[in-house]
Amino acid sequence: MERPEIGEVVYTEEQIRSKVGDLARRITEDYREGAEGSPLLLIGILKGAFIFLADLARLIDVPLEFDFMAISSYGSATKTSGVVRILKDLDKDITGRHVLLVEDIIDTGLTLNYLLRSLTARGPASLEICALLNKQVANKVELPVKYEGFSIPDVFVVGYGLDCAESYRNLPYIASVKK
């Protein structure tokens, strides 16, 4: 298939698989103790996290439940606006629950910062962040990212759930986009 906009492969399928496995092992270790309470709740941030969440969840060996939030902070451009809109909120109450927020990529941190504050106010028993990619950018909002996959340079990437104007989410690898 013609993919004129796709540049270099940044992470191969194999590198992603190995990293997702590492993250899942750490999460399994950390939440094994608490497994007798209500199951760990994975919250996927749509749409970008859907593939990462699906792969990660199948490798986590503790009971899980799922919920999703859809937010908009980007439109189809490649610049963050700082304005976060909740397009779809959680279905269930998270009060007293152990929650793990699963995100595809952190850029400025504005989106997750907003979500963290919104979710913390709902009184979860615990709330941690798992992000596959964390960009090294200036003026970043510092976030407590407990589970980080790759720390990447400030380039716009697509694939493995990440889009460019809604395309390329199904690429099995992560690649840069040509200018």
Whether 107 is a known active-site residue: answer yes
Q: Tell whether residue 104 is a contact of ligand 5GP (CB under 6 A).
A: yes
Select the span of 9-17, 23-31, 88-96, 99-107 touching ligand 5GP (CB under 6 A): 99-107
Closer by beta carbon to ligand 5GP, 28 or else 81: 81
* Beta carbon nearer to ligand 5GP, 31 or 127: 127
Instruction: Tell which positions 127-156 bind ligand 5GP, by CB under 6 A.
Output: 156
Rounded distance between C-alpha atoms, residue 141 and residue 59, angstroms: 30
- Three-class SS state of 100: strand
CA 112 – CA 135 distance, rounded (Å): 13
Q: Does residue 157 touch ligand 5GP according to CB under 6 A?
A: yes
**Alpha carbons 63 and 68: distance in angstroms, whole number:** 17
> Could you say whether residue 163 binds ligand 5GP (CB under 6 A)?
yes
Tell me how far apart the alpha carbons of residues 135 and 137 are, in angstroms, rounded to a whole number: 6
Instruction: Give the residue with the Cβ less far from ligand 5GP, 23 or 162.
Output: 162
Using CA atoms, how far residue 55 sits from 2, 18, 33, 58, in Å, is 27, 11, 23, 6
Task: List the catalytic residues.
Answer: 107
